[in-house]
Structure 1
Amino acid sequence: MEKQSTQIDEKIVKGRYRHFKGNEYEVIYIGRHSETLETMVIYRPLYGDGAIWVRPAAMWNEEITRNGKTQKRFEYIGKA
């Protein structure tokens, strides 16, 4: 499991991302869950109140299919 987590870490870099629904987010840190050691993405939306959110890295990197189109959930668009 640790090897997989490391590979996930390498795919996620700090910076701006666009969610498949169109909103933009900033990845601030990559962290680990204190109990499971699961890799987590710490991020904030670049709209609204800018609250801090956490999402499992595996979910951040996954591809989703919507309306017959497969795409990344979040796509890197550049440095913040």
Structure 2
Amino acid sequence: MMDRTPKPGELYRHFKNKLYQIVTVATHSETGEKLVIYQALYDNFGVYARPLDMFVSEVDHEKYPDVKQKYRFERITPQTKQTDTQVKSEAVRQSAAKMPEAGSVQVQTSKAQVADADDDQAPNPQLIKFLDADTLEEKYNILVSMSDTITDRLLDDMAVVMDVVLPEAPLMERYEDLKNIIRTRQHYEFANRLR
């Protein structure tokens, strides 16, 4: 049987079509139970814990007969294709202003909270490409290719990925700001390689 234990940094899609990133697999200090610690890539970027056995389990197809996904959480890669039925809405949502302050994230483990964590929309495929891009050049090219379809939500999501805050301004001004930030980082990276 293939080991399905998630690794830090991997992206997973929940069967209700929400995207998460693995933080780590922890060990409960009292029971020794393995817990998957993962972060939502939407709304307030909540951090959650779920027993490893539950995380890697198959979907209860009696309870959810219309679900096509085999496992509760399935790993996604840049090669993973999203069908039209999987993409229920435009994008992951997050503005940098809504990010929790450092040290204020609480791991939520109640069943009700875990259920709440599973009820949102799928990410925008272009955002997934941006997240998966290995270089700043790739990120820049993806951003440039989106000039006709860019939204404030996507800009906010991409800004979070780049660890910057875009000031409130008209959409195209914010778009140009993010392009300039990426280009500046590219030049800085290149200059450091020459040293």
TM-score (normalizing by structure 1): 0.78
Q: Percent identity?
A: 34
Structure 1 outlier segments of 4+, above 2 Å: none
2:171 — aligned with what?
A: none
For structure 1, the 5+ residue unaligned runs are 1-6
2:65 — aligned with what?
A: 67
Structure scoring higher RCO (CA < 8 A, sep ≥ 6) equals 1
2:6 — aligned with what?
A: 12
| Residue 30 of structure 2 corresponds to residue 35 of structure 1 | yes
- What SS does structure 1 have at the residue aligned with 2:70? strand
For structure 2, the 5+ residue unaligned runs are 79-131, 133-195
TM-score (normalizing by structure 2): 0.34
- What SS does structure 2 have at the residue aligned with 1:59? helix
Corresponding pairs, count: 73
The 1-side partners of 2:44 and 2:20 are apart by 12
| Residue 19 of structure 2 corresponds to residue 24 of structure 1 | yes
Task: Kindly report the root-mean-square deviation, in angstroms, between the aligned alpha carbons of the 2 structures.
Answer: 2.3
The 2-side partners of 1:49 and 1:11 are apart by 25
Greater share of helix: 2
1:4 — aligned with what?
A: none
The 2-side partners of 1:78 and 1:22 are apart by 15
Greater share of strand: 1
